A = this chain, B = another copy of it.
Protein backbone atom coordinates (compact mmCIF):
# COMPACT_ATOMS: atom_id res chain seq x y z
CA UNK A 1 0.00 0.00 0.00
CA UNK A 2 1.30 3.42 -0.95
CA UNK A 3 1.86 6.02 1.73
CA UNK A 4 -0.79 8.69 1.58
CA UNK A 5 -3.66 6.55 0.38
CA UNK A 6 -5.97 4.04 2.00
CA UNK A 7 -8.43 2.05 -0.03
CA UNK A 8 -7.48 4.30 -2.89
CA UNK A 9 -8.67 7.41 -1.06
CA UNK A 10 -6.34 10.36 -0.66
CA UNK A 11 -5.20 10.43 2.98
CA UNK A 12 -5.57 13.87 4.55
CA UNK A 13 -7.14 12.72 7.79
CA UNK A 14 -4.36 13.36 10.24
CA UNK A 15 -0.63 13.29 10.84
CA UNK A 16 -0.42 9.98 12.65
CA UNK A 17 -1.71 7.53 10.08
CA UNK A 18 1.75 6.93 8.71
CA UNK A 19 4.59 5.32 10.63
CA UNK A 20 8.15 6.48 11.17
CA UNK A 21 10.69 8.02 8.85
CA UNK A 22 13.11 5.35 7.57
CA UNK A 23 16.05 6.92 9.41
CA UNK A 24 14.20 6.47 12.69
CA UNK A 25 13.43 2.85 11.88
CA UNK A 26 17.09 2.33 11.09
CA UNK A 27 18.14 3.95 14.38
CA UNK A 28 15.72 1.70 16.23
CA UNK A 29 17.11 -1.40 14.54
CA UNK A 30 20.63 -0.47 15.58
CA UNK A 31 19.68 0.31 19.18
CA UNK A 32 17.57 -2.83 19.33
CA UNK A 33 20.61 -4.99 18.62
CA UNK A 34 22.53 -3.55 21.56
CA UNK A 35 22.28 -4.11 25.28
CA UNK A 36 20.92 -0.92 26.83
CA UNK A 37 20.16 0.18 30.35
CA UNK A 38 16.44 0.18 31.03
CA UNK A 39 13.86 2.81 31.97
CA UNK A 40 15.25 5.68 29.95
CA UNK A 41 18.74 5.56 31.46
CA UNK A 42 20.23 4.45 28.12
CA UNK A 43 22.85 6.30 26.09
CA UNK A 44 20.45 7.12 23.24
CA UNK A 45 18.04 8.93 25.52
CA UNK A 46 20.94 10.75 27.14
CA UNK A 47 22.30 11.89 23.80
CA UNK A 48 18.87 12.90 22.49
CA UNK A 49 18.34 14.98 25.63
CA UNK A 50 21.72 16.63 25.13
CA UNK A 51 20.91 17.46 21.49
CA UNK A 52 17.68 19.11 22.58
CA UNK A 53 19.33 21.02 25.42
CA UNK A 54 21.88 22.34 22.94
CA UNK A 55 19.07 24.13 21.12
CA UNK A 56 17.66 25.75 24.26
CA UNK A 57 20.64 27.75 25.40
CA UNK A 58 19.78 26.94 28.99
CA UNK A 59 19.65 24.03 31.35
CA UNK A 60 16.58 21.81 31.41
CA UNK A 61 15.49 18.31 32.25
CA UNK A 62 14.35 16.29 29.24
CA UNK A 63 12.13 13.22 29.63
CA UNK A 64 10.92 10.96 26.83
CA UNK A 65 7.33 9.80 26.99
CA UNK A 66 5.06 7.82 24.70
CA UNK A 67 2.26 10.19 23.71
CA UNK A 68 0.74 13.62 24.09
CA UNK A 69 -2.12 12.91 26.47
CA UNK A 70 0.28 10.94 28.63
CA UNK A 71 2.79 13.76 28.66
CA UNK A 72 0.18 16.35 29.63
CA UNK A 73 -1.20 14.06 32.31
CA UNK A 74 2.17 13.26 33.91
CA UNK A 75 3.43 16.82 33.78
CA UNK A 76 0.36 18.43 35.26
CA UNK A 77 0.00 15.73 37.93
CA UNK A 78 3.58 16.45 38.98
CA UNK A 79 3.37 20.25 38.79
CA UNK A 80 0.08 21.00 40.57
CA UNK A 81 -1.17 20.81 44.14
CA UNK A 82 -4.66 19.28 44.53
CA UNK A 83 -6.68 22.50 44.48
CA UNK A 84 -4.78 24.05 41.62
CA UNK A 85 -6.41 24.34 38.21
CA UNK A 86 -5.38 24.74 34.61
CA UNK A 87 -6.48 27.55 32.32
CA UNK A 88 -6.85 26.38 28.73
CA UNK A 89 -8.48 27.62 25.56
CA UNK A 90 -11.90 26.02 25.06
CA UNK A 91 -10.49 24.32 21.98
CA UNK A 92 -7.47 22.96 23.87
CA UNK A 93 -6.76 19.27 23.46
CA UNK A 94 -6.54 18.92 27.21
CA UNK A 95 -10.07 20.29 27.54
CA UNK A 96 -11.75 18.32 24.80
CA UNK A 97 -9.98 15.20 23.58
CA UNK A 98 -8.16 13.62 26.49
CA UNK A 99 -11.13 11.82 28.03
CA UNK A 100 -10.79 13.78 31.23
CA UNK A 101 -7.17 12.79 31.89
CA UNK A 102 -6.43 15.97 33.83
CA UNK A 103 -9.59 15.69 35.92
CA UNK A 104 -8.72 12.04 36.54
CA UNK A 105 -5.59 13.29 38.29
CA UNK A 106 -7.77 15.64 40.32
CA UNK A 107 -7.48 19.00 38.59
CA UNK A 108 -10.13 21.21 37.04
CA UNK A 109 -9.55 22.59 33.55
CA UNK A 110 -10.95 26.12 33.29
CA UNK A 111 -11.66 27.10 29.70
CA UNK A 112 -11.52 30.43 27.94
CA UNK A 113 -13.35 30.98 24.64
CA UNK A 114 -11.14 32.01 21.71
CA UNK A 115 -11.58 32.70 18.02
CA UNK A 116 -8.35 31.08 16.92
CA UNK A 117 -7.31 28.71 19.68
CA UNK A 118 -4.84 31.13 21.26
CA UNK A 119 -4.75 32.56 24.76
CA UNK A 120 -3.78 36.14 25.51
CA UNK A 121 -2.82 37.91 28.74
CA UNK A 122 -6.26 39.52 28.73
CA UNK A 123 -8.17 36.26 28.39
CA UNK A 124 -6.06 34.59 31.07
CA UNK A 125 -6.45 37.57 33.37
CA UNK A 126 -10.20 37.49 33.03
CA UNK A 127 -10.25 33.83 34.06
CA UNK A 128 -7.91 34.40 36.98
CA UNK A 129 -9.97 37.29 38.27
CA UNK A 130 -13.10 35.19 38.22
CA UNK A 131 -11.41 32.76 40.63
CA UNK A 132 -10.65 34.78 43.69
CA UNK A 133 -12.13 32.73 46.53
CA UNK A 134 -11.18 29.67 48.52
CA UNK A 135 -14.52 28.17 47.48
CA UNK A 136 -13.13 27.96 43.97
CA UNK A 137 -10.19 26.21 42.42
CA UNK A 138 -7.00 28.24 42.19
CA UNK A 139 -5.73 28.85 38.66
CA UNK A 140 -2.06 27.91 38.62
CA UNK A 141 -1.00 26.74 35.16
CA UNK A 142 -1.72 28.18 31.74
CA UNK A 143 -1.93 25.57 29.01
CA UNK A 144 -1.45 26.51 25.38
CA UNK A 145 -0.76 24.49 22.24
CA UNK A 146 1.60 25.52 19.45
CA UNK A 147 0.40 24.94 16.77
CA UNK A 148 -3.07 25.25 18.27
CA UNK A 149 -5.91 22.87 17.55
CA UNK A 150 -6.95 25.40 14.86
CA UNK A 151 -3.53 25.20 13.24
CA UNK A 152 -2.59 28.70 14.33
CA UNK A 153 0.83 29.70 15.60
CA UNK A 154 2.06 32.00 18.38
CA UNK A 155 4.31 34.90 17.39
CA UNK A 156 7.34 35.53 19.61
CA UNK A 157 5.78 38.73 20.93
CA UNK A 158 2.60 36.87 21.85
CA UNK A 159 4.52 34.20 23.72
CA UNK A 160 6.62 36.79 25.49
CA UNK A 161 3.57 38.77 26.58
CA UNK A 162 1.94 35.61 27.88
CA UNK A 163 5.12 34.52 29.63
CA UNK A 164 5.55 37.89 31.30
CA UNK A 165 1.93 37.93 32.40
CA UNK A 166 2.21 34.44 33.86
CA UNK A 167 5.33 35.32 35.80
CA UNK A 168 3.64 38.46 37.14
CA UNK A 169 0.74 36.38 38.47
CA UNK A 170 2.68 33.37 39.73
CA UNK A 171 1.21 31.21 37.00
CA UNK A 172 3.12 28.45 35.24
CA UNK A 173 3.16 28.44 31.44
CA UNK A 174 3.01 25.04 29.76
CA UNK A 175 3.09 24.45 26.02
CA UNK A 176 1.62 21.37 24.38
CA UNK A 177 3.90 20.82 21.42
CA UNK A 178 2.22 17.84 19.81
CA UNK A 179 2.71 19.81 16.57
CA UNK A 180 5.56 22.04 17.66
CA UNK A 181 7.61 21.03 14.63
CA UNK A 182 4.93 22.39 12.34
CA UNK A 183 4.69 25.61 14.37
CA UNK A 184 8.42 26.28 14.33
CA UNK A 185 8.67 25.81 10.57
CA UNK A 186 5.69 27.81 9.34
CA UNK A 187 6.64 30.61 6.96
CA UNK A 188 7.45 33.78 8.85
CA UNK A 189 7.55 32.09 12.25
CA UNK A 190 9.86 33.92 14.65
CA UNK A 191 9.83 31.48 17.61
CA UNK A 192 12.52 28.89 18.18
CA UNK A 193 13.26 26.44 21.00
CA UNK A 194 15.47 29.01 22.73
CA UNK A 195 12.71 31.63 22.78
CA UNK A 196 10.12 29.07 23.78
CA UNK A 197 12.22 27.79 26.66
CA UNK A 198 12.67 31.34 27.92
CA UNK A 199 8.92 31.85 28.30
CA UNK A 200 7.58 28.39 29.13
CA UNK A 201 8.14 26.62 32.43
CA UNK A 202 7.76 23.36 30.57
CA UNK A 203 6.80 22.22 27.09
CA UNK A 204 6.98 19.14 24.97
CA UNK A 205 8.36 18.50 21.52
CA UNK A 206 6.02 16.16 19.69
CA UNK A 207 7.52 13.20 17.89
CA UNK A 208 4.46 11.03 17.22
CA UNK A 209 3.04 13.53 14.73
CA UNK A 210 6.34 14.35 13.13
CA UNK A 211 8.15 11.26 11.97
CA UNK A 212 8.36 8.95 14.98
CA UNK A 213 6.52 5.71 15.70
CA UNK A 214 5.72 7.20 19.06
CA UNK A 215 7.31 9.61 21.50
CA UNK A 216 7.33 13.11 22.92
CA UNK A 217 10.20 14.96 24.57
CA UNK A 218 9.09 16.81 27.67
CA UNK A 219 11.38 19.72 28.52
CA UNK A 220 11.18 21.03 32.09
CA UNK A 221 12.88 24.38 32.21
CA UNK A 222 11.73 25.64 35.60
CA UNK A 223 14.06 24.05 38.14
CA UNK A 224 11.38 24.12 40.83
CA UNK A 225 9.32 21.63 38.83
CA UNK A 226 12.00 19.02 38.31
CA UNK A 227 12.28 17.19 41.64
CA UNK A 228 11.24 13.55 41.68
CA UNK A 229 9.73 13.80 38.23
CA UNK A 230 10.72 10.24 37.32
CA UNK A 231 8.73 8.95 40.29
CA UNK A 232 5.64 10.50 38.76
CA UNK A 233 6.46 9.13 35.30
CA UNK A 234 6.65 5.66 36.80
CA UNK A 235 3.52 6.14 38.90
CA UNK A 236 1.43 7.07 35.88
CA UNK A 237 2.55 4.00 33.93
CA UNK A 238 4.58 6.15 31.56
CA UNK A 239 8.09 4.78 32.06
CA UNK A 240 9.05 2.49 29.19
CA UNK A 241 11.24 -0.45 30.21
CA UNK A 242 13.06 -0.03 26.89
CA UNK A 243 13.34 3.73 27.02
CA UNK A 244 15.74 3.66 24.09
CA UNK A 245 12.71 3.09 21.84
CA UNK A 246 11.87 6.77 22.14
CA UNK A 247 15.39 7.97 22.89
CA UNK A 248 16.89 6.53 19.72
CA UNK A 249 14.14 8.07 17.58
CA UNK A 250 14.65 11.53 19.06
CA UNK A 251 18.38 11.10 18.61
CA UNK A 252 17.73 10.55 14.92
CA UNK A 253 15.31 13.47 14.74
CA UNK A 254 17.65 15.99 16.36
CA UNK A 255 21.04 14.73 15.23
CA UNK A 256 21.11 16.92 12.15
CA UNK A 257 17.79 18.71 12.05
CA UNK A 258 15.63 15.99 10.49
CA UNK A 259 12.85 17.06 12.87
CA UNK A 260 12.61 20.44 11.15
CA UNK A 261 12.96 19.01 7.67
CA UNK A 262 10.00 16.70 8.20
CA UNK A 263 7.83 19.44 9.68
CA UNK A 264 8.69 21.79 6.84
CA UNK A 265 7.58 19.17 4.36
CA UNK A 266 4.16 18.88 6.02
CA UNK A 267 3.76 22.65 5.97
CA UNK A 268 4.77 22.90 2.30
CA UNK A 269 2.27 20.22 1.34
CA UNK A 270 -0.44 22.07 3.27
CA UNK A 271 0.45 25.34 1.56
CA UNK A 272 -0.04 23.70 -1.80
CA UNK A 273 -3.37 22.34 -0.67
CA UNK A 274 -4.38 25.82 0.50
CA UNK A 275 -3.54 27.14 -2.97
CA UNK A 276 -5.88 24.59 -4.52
CA UNK A 277 -8.68 25.64 -2.17
CA UNK A 278 -8.14 29.35 -2.63
CA UNK A 279 -7.97 29.19 -6.38
CA UNK A 280 -11.62 28.17 -6.38
CA UNK A 281 -12.55 30.55 -3.59
CA UNK A 282 -13.12 28.18 -0.67
CA UNK A 283 -13.30 30.13 2.59
CA UNK A 284 -11.27 28.92 5.59
CA UNK A 285 -12.81 28.88 9.06
CA UNK A 286 -9.48 29.98 10.50
CA UNK A 287 -6.46 31.23 8.63
CA UNK A 288 -3.79 28.74 9.66
CA UNK A 289 -0.26 28.70 8.25
CA UNK A 290 0.56 25.17 9.36
CA UNK A 291 -0.27 21.61 8.37
CA UNK A 292 -3.94 21.85 9.31
CA UNK A 293 -6.52 23.55 7.08
CA UNK A 294 -10.15 24.17 7.93
CA UNK A 295 -12.11 24.83 4.74
CA UNK A 296 -15.83 25.62 4.93
CA UNK A 297 -17.69 23.62 2.32
CA UNK A 298 -21.29 23.05 1.26
CA UNK A 299 -22.58 19.88 2.89
CA UNK A 300 -23.07 18.25 -0.48
CA UNK A 301 -19.43 18.84 -1.37
CA UNK A 302 -18.34 17.29 1.88
CA UNK A 303 -20.35 14.21 1.16
CA UNK A 304 -18.97 13.76 -2.32
CA UNK A 305 -15.44 14.57 -1.22
CA UNK A 306 -15.52 11.72 1.29
CA UNK A 307 -15.69 9.28 -1.60
CA UNK A 308 -12.28 10.43 -2.73
CA UNK A 309 -10.48 11.83 0.27
CA UNK A 310 -10.05 10.81 3.91
CA UNK A 311 -10.48 13.77 6.29
CA UNK A 312 -12.15 14.74 9.56
CA UNK A 313 -15.51 16.48 9.71
CA UNK A 314 -14.84 19.28 12.18
CA UNK A 315 -18.10 21.17 12.67
CA UNK A 316 -21.50 20.92 11.04
CA UNK A 317 -22.75 24.47 11.00
CA UNK A 318 -26.38 23.69 10.33
CA UNK A 319 -26.62 26.33 7.59
CA UNK A 320 -25.82 24.01 4.73
CA UNK A 321 -22.08 24.25 5.29
CA UNK A 322 -19.56 22.16 7.17
CA UNK A 323 -16.05 22.84 8.39
CA UNK A 324 -13.68 20.00 7.59
CA UNK A 325 -10.07 19.47 8.57
CA UNK A 326 -7.49 18.62 5.93
CA UNK A 327 -4.15 17.63 7.34
CA UNK A 328 -0.78 16.86 5.87
CA UNK A 329 2.15 15.11 7.48
CA UNK A 330 5.86 14.48 7.07
CA UNK A 331 4.79 11.55 4.85
CA UNK A 332 2.25 13.22 2.60
CA UNK A 333 3.49 12.75 -1.00
CA UNK A 334 3.22 15.40 -3.70
CA UNK A 335 1.09 12.86 -5.54
CA UNK A 336 -1.63 13.22 -2.91
CA UNK A 337 -1.76 16.98 -3.48
CA UNK A 338 -1.83 16.44 -7.20
CA UNK A 339 -4.66 13.95 -6.91
CA UNK A 340 -6.64 16.34 -4.70
CA UNK A 341 -6.01 19.17 -7.15
CA UNK A 342 -7.25 17.01 -10.00
CA UNK A 343 -10.65 16.33 -8.49
CA UNK A 344 -11.49 19.15 -6.11
CA UNK A 345 -12.24 22.17 -8.32
CA UNK A 346 -14.96 20.48 -10.37
CA UNK A 347 -16.42 18.81 -7.33
CA UNK A 348 -16.60 22.12 -5.46
CA UNK A 349 -18.15 24.06 -8.33
CA UNK A 350 -20.85 21.44 -8.77
CA UNK A 351 -21.58 21.61 -5.06
CA UNK A 352 -21.81 25.37 -5.05
CA UNK A 353 -24.28 25.25 -7.88
CA UNK A 354 -26.38 22.76 -5.93
CA UNK A 355 -26.35 24.99 -2.86
CA UNK A 356 -27.20 28.12 -4.78
CA UNK A 357 -30.14 26.37 -6.43
CA UNK A 358 -31.31 25.05 -3.07
CA UNK A 359 -31.08 28.49 -1.49
CA UNK A 360 -32.95 30.10 -4.39
CA UNK A 361 -35.70 27.51 -3.93
CA UNK A 362 -35.81 28.13 -0.20
CA UNK A 363 -36.09 31.90 -0.64
Which A residues contact B (CB, under 8 angstroms)? 1, 3-6, 11, 14, 16-20, 25, 28-29, 31-39, 66-74, 77-78, 81-83, 85, 96-101, 103-109, 133-138, 208-209, 213-214, 228, 230-232, 234-242, 244-245
Establish whether residues A138 and B25, one from each chain, have CB atoms under 8 Å apart when the complex forms: no
A137 neighbours in B (Cβ, 8 Å): 99-100, 103, 231, 235
Q: How far is the CB of A12 from chain B (nearest CB, A)?
A: 11
Residue of B nearest to A110 (CB): B100
A214 to B104, CA, bound (A): 25
Other-chain residue from B5, B35, B101 in contact with A1 (beta carbon distance below 8 A): B35
Interface of A, helix, strand, loop or mixed by DSSP: loop
Establish whether residues B70 and A237, one from each chain, have CB atoms under 8 Å apart when the complex forms: yes
Other-chain residue from B16, B85, B96 in contact with A38 (beta carbon distance below 8 A): B16
Q: A38-B14, A82-B78 are in contact. Are A106 and B104 (CB under 8 A)?
A: yes
Establish whether residues A103 and B103, one from each chain, have CB atoms under 8 Å apart when the complex forms: yes
A58 to B108, CA, bound (A): 36
A29 neighbours in B (Cβ, 8 Å): 25
A200 to B188, CA, bound (A): 57
A97 neighbours in B (Cβ, 8 Å): 133, 135-136
16 contacts between A and B (CB under 8 A): A11-B35, A19-B242, A25-B25, A25-B28, A66-B240, A67-B237, A69-B237, A71-B237, A73-B237, A81-B228, A83-B232, A97-B135, A97-B136, A98-B235, A99-B134, A213-B242
Other-chain residue from B19, B28, B133, B239 in contact with A67 (beta carbon distance below 8 A): B239
Establish whether residues A28 and B99, one from each chain, have CB atoms under 8 Å apart when the complex forms: no
A240 to B36, CA, bound (A): 23
Q: A17-B35, A101-B236, A108-B109 are in contact. List 13 more A-B contacts (CB 8 A).
A: A16-B242, A19-B28, A70-B238, A83-B104, A83-B232, A96-B136, A97-B135, A98-B234, A99-B134, A99-B235, A100-B108, A103-B107, A209-B241
A82 to B79, CA, bound (A): 10
Establish whether residues B38 and A235, one from each chain, have CB atoms under 8 Å apart when the complex forms: no
Establish whether residues B11 and A99, one from each chain, have CB atoms under 8 Å apart when the complex forms: no
Q: How far is the CB of A243 from chain B (nearest CB, A)?
A: 10
A17 to B74, CA, bound (A): 25
> Which 9 pairs between the two chains have the least Cβ-Cβ distance?
A19-B32, A70-B237, A83-B231, A99-B234, A99-B235, A100-B137, A16-B241, A100-B108, A103-B108
